[in-house]
Amino acid sequence: NAGVTQTPKFQVLKTGQSMTLQCAQDMNHNSMYWYRQDPGMGLRLIYYSASEGTTDKGEVPNGYNVSRLNKREFSLRLESAAPSQTSVYFCASMEPKRGYGYTFGSGTRLTVV
Amino acid sequence: QKEVEQNSGPLSVPEGAIASLNCTYSDRGSQSFFWYRQYSGKSPELIMFIYSNGDKEDGRFTAQLNKASQYVSLLIRDSQPSDSATYLCAPRDDKIIFGKGTRLHILP
């Protein structure tokens, strides 16, 4: 099925460890996004990529890095995980020219202990 | 950046009644809006898109946009327990800033 695929679905990290969250879409969308969602909070934008080769900071970029590897893939890296980064992470993609809104991945539930 | 305000709820509505969800915005440049539904533990899914003043109907859902008063609403007719979720209003933009959404609880 066409859509946005995120891996892994669950992850537990120790403080200070690093990891990369993977996201891939097969809808030929130009724009891709990373959000985090904490309990009782809305979705907060971490980073986004308007097109292949470009990335920009969102509302809460500190502690994260991203790579737009190609048009399909947009990864999110935590270099030194902290308990405050415990959250559910959602990747999304959109084709701005079509205006259909985001398609979200199923999310990665990350716990940092 | 374009932002919206929503009552976080929870909004409790009896089964079979009409649920009314509201959203206000401050940026007059916002021309069109999405409504997303998010079930607990799941990712948001797009349910409505409205870009012109007035009403847009899709099954039991009606989205309303009033650009003069700067509000958007979502009406759910014949509410079902399966409608219990958080509903997110978002302005169409290349970089969407979401509000916290409104939690809706349909009482059986």
Q: How far is CA B59 from the centre of its chain?
A: 15
Residue with tokens 């539904």: B37
Strands A10-13 and A108-112: parallel
Sign of the dihedral defined by the CA atoms of residues A101, A71, A82, A108, in that order: positive
B95 contacts on A by Cβ (under 8 Å): 33, 45, 48, 50, 56, 58
Q: Which residue of A has its CA nearest to B101?
A: A42
Is the separation of the CB atoms in A66 and A60 below 8 Å?
no
The DSSP letter of residue A73 is B
pLDDT (tens digit per residue) in B27-64:
888 888 999 999 999 999 999 999 888 999 999 999 99
**Segment B54-107, tens digit of pLDDT:** 999 999 999 999 999 999 999 999 999 999 999 999 998 878 888 889 999 999
